[in-house]
Amino acid sequence: MSNVFGEKVKITLFGESHGNGIGAVIDGLPSGFAIDFDALARDMARRAPGSSPLSTTRREADEVEVLSGVFEGKTTGAPLAILIRNTNTRSGDYQPHLPRPSHADYVADVKYGGCQDYRGGGHFSARVTAPLVWAGSLARQILAQKGVSLAAHIARIGAVEDTRFTQPDAALLQALPNKPFPVLDDSVAEKMTAEVLAAKAEADSVGGIVECAAVGLPVGLGEPFFDSMESKLSHLLFSIPAVKGVEFGDGFALSAMRGSDANDPLRMQDGRVVTATNRNGGINGGITNGMPLIVRAAFKPTPSIGKEQQTVDLRTGENATLQIHGRHDPCIVPRAVPIVEASVALCLLDAML
Amino acid sequence: MSNVFGEKVKITLFGESHGNGIGAVIDGLPSGFAIDFDALARDMARRAPGSSPLSTTRREADEVEVLSGVFEGKTTGAPLAILIRNTNTRSGDYQPHLPRPSHADYVADVKYGGCQDYRGGGHFSARVTAPLVWAGSLARQILAQKGVSLAAHIARIGAVEDTRFTQPDAALLQALPNKPFPVLDDSVAEKMTAEVLAAKAEADSVGGIVECAAVGLPVGLGEPFFDSMESKLSHLLFSIPAVKGVEFGDGFALSAMRGSDANDPLRMQDGRVVTATNRNGGINGGITNGMPLIVRAAFKPTPSIGKEQQTVDLRTGENATLQIHGRHDPCIVPRAVPIVEASVALCLLDAML
Amino acid sequence: MSNVFGEKVKITLFGESHGNGIGAVIDGLPSGFAIDFDALARDMARRAPGSSPLSTTRREADEVEVLSGVFEGKTTGAPLAILIRNTNTRSGDYQPHLPRPSHADYVADVKYGGCQDYRGGGHFSARVTAPLVWAGSLARQILAQKGVSLAAHIARIGAVEDTRFTQPDAALLQALPNKPFPVLDDSVAEKMTAEVLAAKAEADSVGGIVECAAVGLPVGLGEPFFDSMESKLSHLLFSIPAVKGVEFGDGFALSAMRGSDANDPLRMQDGRVVTATNRNGGINGGITNGMPLIVRAAFKPTPSIGKEQQTVDLRTGENATLQIHGRHDPCIVPRAVPIVEASVALCLLDAML
Amino acid sequence: MSNVFGEKVKITLFGESHGNGIGAVIDGLPSGFAIDFDALARDMARRAPGSSPLSTTRREADEVEVLSGVFEGKTTGAPLAILIRNTNTRSGDYQPHLPRPSHADYVADVKYGGCQDYRGGGHFSARVTAPLVWAGSLARQILAQKGVSLAAHIARIGAVEDTRFTQPDAALLQALPNKPFPVLDDSVAEKMTAEVLAAKAEADSVGGIVECAAVGLPVGLGEPFFDSMESKLSHLLFSIPAVKGVEFGDGFALSAMRGSDANDPLRMQDGRVVTATNRNGGINGGITNGMPLIVRAAFKPTPSIGKEQQTVDLRTGENATLQIHGRHDPCIVPRAVPIVEASVALCLLDAML
């Protein structure tokens, strides 16, 4: 009831962190699209751990095998299935009877009657986002062919904030994914890095915000009543582990404003209807209005931290303490950037086909 | 592709502000449930306009006729259809060629080729939430029978904030809907009222936040990967007109925190696993953990304001100004409280059946 | 989980035979379609009872009120809801404790715990097909604009068979619905009528077959693997009360054939690929091939007959006899013709949009 | 839009005949079910080609790798993904420009713009049913634990008919899958074999019918209006390649009957409501009535035959002849038995969970 998303482009996810593999099946793609496999690999590398001192030292090969749906380098129109083998797994790191606070361990134990694959978080592992990134990266390629550009940046880590998107254009959005540390104001990169390293030094973790923009969208994407563009996007974004908030345009800030300030005046520009400001993030009444779509996702700090924590022992039913010794990300946010992009790309492609 | 929501309990919405009527079809309800029609009427009255100086002076009778699915006062198990006639409509108030800024007027005109029923916002009118409230109110009755209580309060209007839910219990949540001005800290009611009246005096509007809590939930609601409890709730909440942000637990504030602060320690209490804090809003890994579920929805200010605004003339393709003379809410937030409750109730019932 | 059908064009049905009304909500229709309400009324009349000695003498006004989705005679693109009031109902005719053999009475009683609206079969009544016919008739209008013609005829009643469609063309299919007794070989009309009247004279009923054809379809409708055109059509056809068999092209007869006889040779004709025969009913691999689509639905005899029958008494748990005194159709088949057409039209429109 | 089926148990299929592999993702299975892998292998062997002179000499290893969803031999509750590598593929056998009559070649070429993987029929290959059989075999195991037994037999091959199910019981249905040639009347096995070998000798193929029964079902499975048990079952059965007809109980024969003969009298037996006959195949009003569910699926002869056939040359747009030299089944029906069982099992499990 849960591992399938999308209407016209349907993605089915599977896999557990320490099982044989993880993957996805993507259905509904147009046939005959020539896939840029190098671009896919670049996006996969952006999500992969082990490439930076900010992330876990656990390296994942994340080699993607296409099982179906591609013939002579092009999509066939049939379901496209991919498989990523799990290789670097240290199963000894986990103690299933001591659930990690604010992780899915306890709820999974209850929901699945203790039969869940608890190793590495099992199906709840953020590792399951790897095939999502591949699928979303492909969606982004197809969107690019339709004139849509999209990219995300790190908008916050801990106390450090980047500037927000104001008038993003295609050039900016195409350049952003190539940055080793994707922020708009490069001067914050060092401070954000320091924030992560400080948390890491204390065996702690830190949260942040990812902001994504898309330009080149037609007017009219999204469906009233229940499938507003915001509904679809938030549905997918909230399935990303650790996301606890989603907002569009000025989002929560709009709740403190007057209508006369919050409304985006409509204006003619080069024979086209535009808005003078974009406080609504490119969406009115749940429907895209042709202005840049702006969405922000708040990530809580990774719950897996090295500091000693209070938990319960599910075997004895008594209070206990927990010290996690595995290799964990002090901050998931940099790796979350391509995950957010992938989610937005999949939703937009689904709406545009 | 858009007017149906839910898996086990499916709701189908229809209607336009100034058409013959609006309504809903609710399928998947258990048979044999004895409906409390008085309680339904009370919730409908909470959403109805015209009952307070804070809302529009436009009165809507909102008389609900049950067309099917109820026999001898009980649900039959067959689809339950309701119809609310549109009675108090002044069609002369609208100028379809001058789209209201930040309303759906312009996008609807493009999406439907000018054939949309533009009167009163048509299908985009917040009036379409009336049958949603009825359905959600019924869902809340069924949930109550299962031991679940839920209610919402006004968490913010403009600059004025209410306190947040800390440890809501069933007694508080059952009392809250009976308050004429549903806030936790009664001392803010007057300030919030002043905020709305100030906006009204200037022919302006003001936004706000609604916070909803549910207690008595079992551990295990929500489905990985795509149908996390947060995904389903946000999907429905973002279909409510004017919602631009949704967060769970401490939400966006978590993005500035350390893991050691954000994690909710697990503890044994009376033989039951609880969390010492509830920064995650009762949801871990997308699954309910048995603690109070806490969700907040940010509402932008009503876009329909009396102040003169900049727009475009869709007939001439030139810039224009717009002065709206209709009767509009200076603040939708008080009326949004039962709408948020209804949305949460429908999602939770869908997950629990 | 059950009252919604379709992907791009979604239809939601509601209503019980003796409740306040029955109806449908149709979502996903293109905006701006000018509806021919007279044509809709003609199709509704073809399904309505009371117009012929072959059907029940129970008259149903079947007046259709459009509640939403139409503005100035055209579709708005918003959900189109219709309501048909139940007027001519004689509730005294039913004995809920004596379930009618081969009707839904007994299964409904178990499934809904005795809370179902048993009057007139409730939600299981064939009356619920009235809004389906309206929706399908509208779908047929939209298909006609796209060059698709479709119509059905009575292929069998009891022992009497009509000829089958061989090479149906648009002219034939457009003329067929205007026939008072829609058969291809007019000489069988009298025999079929006699078959029905003979059953009626003995307080009995008789079954039959409806065959439907559609021409003008593009190559490529239907989706592998699970949404073959046959899968979608049969799904909807088997939801029509009394349908117990569905076949495409030569259907069951193909099971007795050799491949060399069953295969339809491919040929070029006027620069277009055609098949020399059409034993596959216009569908290969679940996908339309551009030849006439041919489908047959087998209707069992109406289970409500006047003859004394064996049943059980649900109050006492003992065997009992049942004599039904209501007004029932001796043969549902003539009225089923527009129902089959409607089902096929809805499926094809869903696939073509 | 098409490779996912089911509501509570969702199956996603992928793969092409000559790609890297085929497989399925099954979501919604209960956690903690101890899988009998030997039983799965036996069902896979029943579908596999190469095991009998009646089928193609093409051998497929069909080794199934479980990628996820199983931990320590039990289902985890997370999506269960399986992969079957394609090993024995002779790609040289295919001529994409000469579509095989009554196969999907031509429609696939149009639908996918010539980009489909044409080798071996690609995604349209009956090979894609291998993971379906695995999933359905697992569903059958879970159903068995719930007291439901189901099995199919060959009801017809060409002109030779087996007897039909009359009063199937659990013992019969549990024994049937162990028969090397699954018929009810063993005396027809030899004649059916002769029918297949005669077709094979002439480089031809022959069709047939598979009949499936399920016993031990509760009253109440299936949902009005659109998800009748017949609708769901036919939807899945018509997605099996070569199925052109589906009927329940006496099916098409009911169309020639009187109601007094077709109705199944209700009787009390051992304190339980039963029907004296079972002409409705265990389904009334689309809902199971507790009697054996009986369904028949008609298979056309395999379209791939060795005899010379008429086709068109898609390169030149001219008529052409085609001689297929590959290894093909003269009769798919024996191998279709476990495919039909799998389809019925998946539908029933979906309805029972």
Q: Which residue from C minimizes the CA distance to A78?
A: C224
Q: Which residue from D minimizes the CA distance to C221?
A: D111
Token pair of B334, please? Answer: 């008080």
Q: Which amino acid is at D277?
A: T
pLDDT grade, residue A343 (50/70/90)? very high
Is A19 close to D122, i.e. CB distance below 8 A? no
Is the pLDDT reported for residue D1 higher than 60?
A: no
Does A353 fall in a domain?
Answer: no
Please classify residue D170 by burial: count the beta carbons closer than 10 Å to its beta carbon, then call 0-12 exposed, 13-18 middle and 19+ buried. middle
CA distance C60 to C48: 7
Q: How much of chain D, in percent, has pLDDT values that exceed 70?
A: 95
Beta pairing class for B283-284 and B287-288:
antiparallel
Is the pLDDT reported for residue D135 higher than 70?
A: yes
Exposure string over D21-45, b if 16+ CB within 10 A, otherwise e: bbbbbbbbbbbebebeeeebbebbe
Q: Which helix (H) or strand (E) holds A337?
A: helix A333-352
pLDDT in tens, C205-240: 999 999 999 999 999 999 999 999 999 999 999 999
Alpha helix ranges (H) inside B80-169:
105-111, 129-145
pLDDT in tens, B267-311: 999 999 999 999 999 999 999 999 999 999 999 999 999 999 999
Question: Which residues in chain C are closer than 8 Å to A78, comparing Cβ atoms?
Answer: 224
pLDDT in tens, D286-298: 999 999 999 999 9
Give bridge partners of residue D15 from the DSSP assignment: D22
pLDDT grade, residue C51 (50/70/90)? low
Beta pairing class for A149-157 and A272-275:
unpaired
CA distance B16 to B130: 11
Q: Which helix (H) or strand (E) holds B256?
A: none
Yes or no: say if B293 and B71 are a contact pair by the CB < 8 Å rule: no
CA distance C294 to C169: 12
Does C353 fall in a domain?
Answer: no
DSSP character at residue B29: P
For residue A208, give the nearest of B4, B219, B255 by CB distance: B255
Q: Which residue from B minimizes the CA distance to A350?
A: B1
Give bridge partners of residue C312 from the DSSP assignment: C319
CA distance A274 to A266: 6
Q: Is the dihedral of CA D226, D231, D233, D235 positive or negative?
A: negative
Question: Which residues in chain B are closer than 8 Å to A257, comparing Cβ atoms?
Answer: 158, 206-207, 300-301
∠ Cα B146 B148 B149 (to 5°): 140
**What would the mean pLDDT of A274-288 be, rounded to a whole number?**
98
Interface chains of chain D (3 or more CB pairs under 8 Å): A, B, C
**What would the mean pLDDT of B194-213 be, rounded to a whole number?**
97
CA distance A310 to A329: 20
Token pair of B264, please? Answer: 């909710």
Q: What is the pLDDT of residue D60?
A: 60
Q: How near does any CA of chain A get to the CA of B25, in Å? A: 14
Report chain D's mean pLDDT, rounded to a whole number. 94
Concatenating the DSSP letter of every residue in D230-287 gives HHHHHHHHTTSTTEEEEEETTGGGGGGSBHHHHS--EEEETTEEEESS-TTTTEETTE
- How many contacts, defined by CB atoms under 8 Å, are there between B and D? 3
Q: What is the pLDDT of residue C328?
A: 81
Q: What is the pLDDT of residue A94?
A: 73
Q: What's phi and psi for B91, nearest 5 deg?
A: -70, -20
Is A15 close to D113, i.e. CB distance below 8 A? no
Q: What is the pLDDT of residue B311?
A: 98
Is D239 close to C245, i.e. CB distance below 8 A? no
For residue B78, give the nearest of C23, C28, C123 by CB distance: C123
DSSP character at residue B86: -
Chain centre to alpha carbon of residue A229: 17
**What would the mean pLDDT of C103-132 be, rounded to a whole number?**
95
Q: Give me the CATH number covering residue A131.
A: 3.60.150.10
Token pair of D81, please? Answer: 């993904």
Among the listed residues D12, D212, D240, D48, the one whose alpha carbon sits nearest the alpha carbon of residue D130: D48
**What would the mean pLDDT of A5-11 be, rounded to a whole number?**
96
Q: What is the pLDDT of residue D146?
A: 98
Token pair of B85, please? Answer: 């006639």
**What would the mean pLDDT of A64-82 be, rounded to a whole number?**
97
Q: How near does any CA of chain B get to the CA of A93, in Å? A: 20
What pTM was estimated for this model as a whole? 0.97
Which domain covers residue C342, as residue numbers?
4-346
Q: Which helix (H) or strand (E) holds A88?
A: none
- Count how many Cα atoms sit within 13 Å of the Cα of residue B189 in the half-sphere of its side chain: 10
Q: Which residue has 């068999």 as its token pair?
A: C245
- How many contacts, defined by CB atoms under 8 Å, are there between A and C? 3
CA distance C185 to C191: 11
Question: Which residues in chain D are closer than 8 Å to B224, comparing Cβ atoms?
Answer: 78
- How many contacts, defined by CB atoms under 8 Å, are there between A and D? 174
Does A207 fall in a domain?
Answer: yes
CA distance B13 to A353: 24
CA distance D61 to A310: 51
Token pair of C247, please? Answer: 């076949």
pLDDT grade, residue C29 (50/70/90)? very high
Q: Which amino acid is at B40?
A: L
pLDDT in tens, D277-286: 999 999 999 9
Q: What is the pLDDT of residue A325?
A: 83
Mutate to test the interface with D, among A14, A65, A82, A105 (most CBs of D within 10 A): A14
Which residues lie closer than 8 Å to C75 by C-beta, 6 or more apart? Answer: B115, C29, C30, C31, C32, C33, C35, C69
CA distance A46 to A133: 9
pLDDT grade, residue D118 (50/70/90)? very high
Is A68 close to D32, i.e. CB distance below 8 A? no
Question: Which residues in chain A are closer than 8 Å to B261, comparing Cβ atoms?
Answer: 301
Question: Which residues in chain B are closer than 8 Å to A311, comparing Cβ atoms?
Answer: 265-266
**What would the mean pLDDT of D112-126 be, rounded to a whole number?**
93
Q: Which helix (H) or strand (E) holds D70?
A: strand D70-71
Does C317 fall in a domain?
Answer: yes
Is the pLDDT reported for residue A52 higher than 90?
A: no
DSSP character at residue A280: T
Q: How much of chain C, in percent, has pLDDT values that exceed 90?
A: 90
- Count how many Cα atoms sit within 13 Å of the Cα of residue C305 in the half-sphere of its side chain: 31
Q: How near does any CA of chain A get to the CA of B306, in Å? A: 9
Mutate to test the interface with B, among A13, A107, A206 (most CBs of B within 10 A): A107
Q: Which residue from A minimizes the CA distance to B208?
A: A255
For residue D239, give the nearest of C228, C258, C303 by CB distance: C228
Among the listed residues D345, D344, D1, the one whose alpha carbon sits nearest the alpha carbon of residue A12: D1
Q: What's phi and psi for B316, nearest 5 deg?
A: -100, -15
Is B235 close to A239, i.e. CB distance below 8 A? no
Question: Which residues in chain D are closer than 8 Å to B7, comparing Cβ atoms?
Answer: 7
Question: Which residues in chain C are closer than 8 Å to A224, comparing Cβ atoms?
Answer: 78
Question: Which residues in chain B are closer than 8 Å to C10, comparing Cβ atoms?
Answer: 1, 3-4
Among the listed residues D302, D308, D312, D334, the one whose alpha carbon sits nearest the alpha carbon of residue D323: D308
pLDDT in tens, A301-330: 999 999 999 999 999 999 999 998 877 889
Count Cβ atoms below 10 Å from residue C72 Cβ, excluding itself.
8
Is D224 close to B78, i.e. CB distance below 8 A? yes
pLDDT in tens, D306-343: 999 999 999 999 999 999 887 788 999 999 999 999 99
Does C270 fall in a domain?
Answer: yes
pLDDT grade, residue C49 (50/70/90)? confident
Please classify residue A91 by burial: count the beta carbons closer than 10 Å to its beta carbon, then call 0-12 exposed, 13-18 middle and 19+ buried. exposed
Report chain B's mean pLDDT, rounded to a whole number. 94
Question: Which residues in chain B are closer than 8 Å to A266, comparing Cβ atoms?
Answer: 99, 101, 106, 310-312
Domains: count for chain D: 1
Is C247 close to D219, i.e. CB distance below 8 A? no
